[in-house]
Structure 1
Amino acid sequence: MSRYRGPRVKIIRRLGSLPGLTGRASKPKSSYIDRSTSNKKISQYRIRLEEKQKLRFHYGLTERQLLKYVRIARKTKGSTGQVLLQLLEMRLDNTIFCLGMAPTIPSARQLVNHRHIFINNYTVNVPSYNCEPGDIITIKNKEKSQLIITKNINSFQKLEIPNHLNFNSIKLQGFVNQTIRSESIDLKINELLVVEYYSRQV
């Protein structure tokens, strides 16, 4: 299954707020629709599916990529759900988004693909690159790259940068202090339901 490229508002209207996908707020559904669906019993499968979809659309992953992360998380020591979220949070595209250098994760992915981003003075064009403590994220020393990032920072004010990151707005540098802690992940999702959804596939 390919990465979703359709209308984003349609997704958040169905699944709720997904800041990594879009900063727009979803409009509430009409009362007519609410009344017509209120008596329908929601299956456990649908609940798990929607939690999985939230995770996939927020981080902008394909089905195959998310399944791969679940398999890695299962083999890693610790809670599978928490390890899964940590793996996704430490992706380069998500890290750039959390630093406020891009308004959404798809925008951050585009910056990486177009070679605007350096990690420890080396060009990295792989959005799934796993950021590690000590990594220094900088912008290519070209006017176009600098303008893009500066524009993003000025037009998109990140409310708060996570504790595991630091950002120098003067030098346009991001620092990875540590691996993000599970309790610091500010995403309203039940990761255990995602693990349960994939329980028969891993």
Structure 2
Amino acid sequence: MARYTDAVCRLCRREGMKLYLKGERCYTDKCAVTKRNFAPGQHGQSRKKLSNYGMQLREKQKAKRFYGVLEAQFRKYFEMAEKQPGIAGENLLRILESRLDNVVYRLGFASSRAQARQLIVHGHFTVNGKKLDIPSYIVNVGDVIQAKEKSQGSPKFKEVKEIFKGTVPHWLSVDVEKLEGKIVSLPTREDIDIPIAENLIIELYSK
């Protein structure tokens, strides 16, 4: 499985904003964006005016990095979104939000999407009672995601119960004592709080 392996804080600095890729660290003074709020590299502090193409590219890169998706899979999601009824940009964000790793993160069972992917790959979750270790799995309404019974006794999941903040998006429901979440409905654009101009992504891929 291909994945980005370099320092993730560089990604946040390149986008000029927090992408919350390192969980709790992103909320502290140790955050790279807080300490060095400019792009990495020799010319990172120089100001450049972006072209229309540049703005479209930055939005695509931002979305990919928020959700931890590489180019080939992201383009596949775009093609799926175009074929679905409705607005392609909103369809694209809904598909990204419906990935299993994002749902585990949104339920509060992981401190970042990267940690959620790791937990899923290591086999700590079931979907509808069956073990599933594919972070890119697209969930559907009615699906039930739960930490495996054997995993629930681990220090990681005990910590989840202790520090759980009790707030999840309204398209999800959660039972923290059972470490169980359910897909109540598919997310709408209003439910997605990530600052992405999805229309620019559609413009880029539609050329």
Would you say same fold, with TM above 0.5?
Answer: yes
Letter of the 1:55 partner, please give it.
A
- Among 86, 90, 110, the alignment partner of 1:82 is 90
Which residue matches 2:185?
178
Q: CA deviation at 1:60?
A: 0.6
CA offsets, 1:105-160, max 9 Å, x none?
111111111111011111111111111111111111115664322324545x5583
Please list, as runs of the form range in 1=range in 2, the aligned pairs for 1:52-201 lying within 5 A after superposition: 52-143=60-151, 146-154=154-162, 157=164, 160-200=167-207
Letter of the 1:101 partner, please give it.
F
Please list, as runs of the form range in 1=range in 2, the aligned pairs for 1:14-53 lying within 5 A after superposition: 14-15=14-15, 16-19=17-20, 21-23=21-23, 24=26, 25=31, 26-27=33-34, 28-29=36-37, 37-38=46-47, 40-53=48-61
Letter of the 2:46 partner, please give it.
T
CA distance 1:175–1:192, shift in 2 (3 Å):
same
Q: CA deviation at 1:11?
A: 1.1
Greater RCO (Cα-Cα under 8 Å, separation 6 or more) = 1
Aligned residues: percent identity?
35
TM-score by length of 1: 0.87
Tell me, in whole angstroms, the C-alpha distance in 1 between the residues paired with 2:196 and 2:165. Answer: 20
Tell me, in whole angstroms, the C-alpha distance in 2 between the residues paired with 1:180 and 1:41. Answer: 34
CA distance 1:196–1:172, shift in 2 (3 Å):
same
| Stretch moving more, 122-131 or 89-98 | 122-131
Tell me, in whole angstroms, the C-alpha distance in 1 between the residues paired with 2:9 and 2:79. Answer: 30
Tell me, in whole angstroms, the C-alpha distance in 1 between the residues paired with 2:153 and 2:56. Answer: 40
**Structure 1: tracts of 5 or more residues without a match:** none
TM-score by length of 2: 0.85
C-alpha RMSD over aligned residues? 2.4
Which residue matches 1:4?
4
Tell me, in whole angstroms, the C-alpha distance in 2 between the residues paired with 1:96 and 1:8. Answer: 20
CA distance 1:55–1:143, shift in 2 (3 Å):
closer
CA contact (8 A) 2:161 2:177 kept: no
Secondary structure (helix, strand or coil) at the match of 2:91 reads helix
Q: CA deviation at 1:164?
A: 0.4
Q: CA deviation at 1:198?
A: 1.4
Q: How many matched pairs? A: 195
Letter of the 1:167 partner, please give it.
V
